[in-house]
Amino acid sequence: MKIALAQQDYIIGDFEGNRAKHLQAIHQASKEGARLIVFPELSICGYPPRDFLEFDDFIRKSEESVRLIAAECKGIAAVVGAPVRNTTGKGKLLFNAALFLYEGIILGVQRKSLLPNYDIFDEYRYFEPNRQFEVVNFEGKRIALTVCEDLWNTDENPLYVERPLERLLPFSPDLVINIAASPFHDRQPEIRRKVLIENALRAGVPLVYVNHTGAQTELIFDGNSMVLDGSGKVCVQLPFFVEDFRVVDLQELPSDILGGYPDRIALIHDALVSGIKAYFQKLHLKKAILGLSGGIDSAVVLVLAAEALGKENVRAVLLPSRYSTLHSIDDAVALAKNIDVAYDIISIEEAFKAFEQTLRPVFKDLPPDLTEENIQARIRAVILMAMSNKLGYILLNTSNKSEAAVGYGTMYGDMCGGLSVLGDVYKTDVYNLAKYINREQEVIPRNILIKAPSAELRPNQKDSDSLPEYDILDPVLYEYIENRLGPQEIISKGYDAELVKRVLRLVNQNEYKRHQTPPILRVSAKAFGSGRRMPIVGKYLA
């Protein structure tokens, strides 16, 4: 049997546009002799639809799309993902389901059994878990349909009490299909492949896996759809972060192509470019603006934005103060010229003087401190937002994860923006991204990579005046945020006790700031945002 894999990107709630993608792929598959085409999880409505699922009109439109697509399945079958109503009268109103469409009807339905309710997932809020299992009989083949998480309860990762594949194996399936909406993080591709290999070996039959690509706000989907044979060999693998279409003959699977994945930093780079591009396209936005300081963070964001949106759609603004060094300005200008991006130089000195004069009657003879530093950051934000409003740009935030973790940022200042590009990238990895960008030629000036990080808000300021060096700070943050280790557990791994207590105290005390940041593109297993839900007020480790 020839099967087509449709690795696609959808817009949540764009039923007409999503339907058009389905129909185009179905017609192409039919022309290429495929008997079945497979689409990702919740492909009809887009993933994750979240509270749109609570609107009956949203469900009706989804049902109408299914009917219209089924009507086009003449001589070819399609597996699509859609919410379906729970007609049992018990439990939640919807199931998350894989629908098998053929000759104008729904020939089979397999509802999702394992509903993830951890990290960025919240499916049990909307869906009832499946408790009934069956296979679809099609052209002499018994096909077991599964939906994403239903294959993730493995020996190595036992998350649930039930294993849906075990409930399907007594039907002696000839083929297992898994439709997925599996978001990217920097370790996910390798973990996912292990999961699929284990399931293919357990079933002993070919396994077809089709995943979303593109991005939905902070969630980035890497695609990487694949076909495995019954011995667990990865025989077909679709690319990362792009839409793709492939017809595969299950009787003539190519030899094993299992190999190493792209470098982790390369994947993060491509994920961020994909995330920026999708965010702008799906909101019908075109142009981005950002403050270019001469530092590493804004440099990397500028390059990523230019790659995602085109250099003609990106504008950099240099906002020097009395504390800005000449080399920082020169470095920023050199970078803008290297990638041929438009830039402006707007001094904040007169505005800063005006604030000093205005506040002098209140501040009197109090010495300068963090207040004056924050005023400068907020002046810059006002200028950037004014240009954004007047000229039609979206402001990109350039703060990194290390800074966001410890609160090293100014609310309504450098924390402003419509999208946070590096908010899930530790500072040490920002440097690695810069080196990756420079892998073939010097795009980011070398001086930006080698100079000490500084906010340049007071004379001779360095980040290390306020924070541990990033190569010391980031490992502690990783143990606490990603690995969820408590202070004594981290200390027991050899980290300095006072350092650990200081860092964790900073993380917890600044939770309120992170509740007011723009959406953060997620590239780690534990990003700030919906996947990390911490109380603003609490005494743990305080």
Which amino acid belongs to residue 125? R
CATH superfamily of 2-251: Carbon-nitrogen hydrolase (3.60.110.10)
Beta-strand relationship, 175-180 and 207-211: parallel
Is 41 annotated as catalytic? yes
Distance CA 246, CA 480 (A): 42
Is the whole-model pTM more than 0.85?
Answer: yes
pLDDT digits (tens, 9 = 90+) for 252-305: 998 766 667 789 999 999 999 999 999 999 999 999 999 999 999 999 999 999
Instruction: Choose among 217, 256, 187: nearest CA to 419.
Output: 217
The reported pLDDT for the residue numbered 157 is 76
CATH superfamily of 268-463: HUPs (3.40.50.620)
Kindly report the backbone phi and psi dihedral angles of residue 496, in degrees, each rounded to the nearest multiple of 5, phi listed first. Answer: -60, 135
Is 148 annotated as catalytic? yes
Please enumerate, as own/partner, the contacts of 433-441 that have beta carbons within 8 Å and a separation of 24 or more: 433/265, 433/268, 433/269, 433/300, 434/296, 434/299, 434/300, 435/265, 436/263, 436/265, 436/266, 436/269, 437/269, 437/300, 437/303
Judge contact between 324 and 295, C-beta under 8 A. Answer: no
Please enumerate, as own/partner, the contacts of 472-478 that have beta carbons within 8 Å and a separation of 24 or more: 472/499, 473/402, 473/406, 473/427, 473/503, 474/402, 474/426, 474/427, 474/428, 476/500, 476/503, 476/504, 477/401, 477/402, 477/405, 477/406, 477/426, 477/503, 477/507, 478/426
Is 45 annotated as catalytic? no
Domain residue ranges of the chain, discontinuous segments joined by +: 2-251, 268-463
Find the catalytic residue in 45, 73, 148, 416.
Answer: 148
pLDDT digits (tens, 9 = 90+) for 168-185: 999 999 999 999 999 999
Find the catalytic residue in 21, 61, 112, 233.
Answer: 112
The reported pLDDT for the residue numbered 258 is 63
Can the peptide bond before residue 518 be classed as cis, meaning omega within 30 degrees of 0?
no
Low-confidence ranges of the chain (pLDDT < 50): 542
Average pLDDT over all residues of the chain: 95
Q: What is the DSSP letter of 155?
A: S
Find the catalytic residue in 21, 41, 282, 307.
Answer: 41
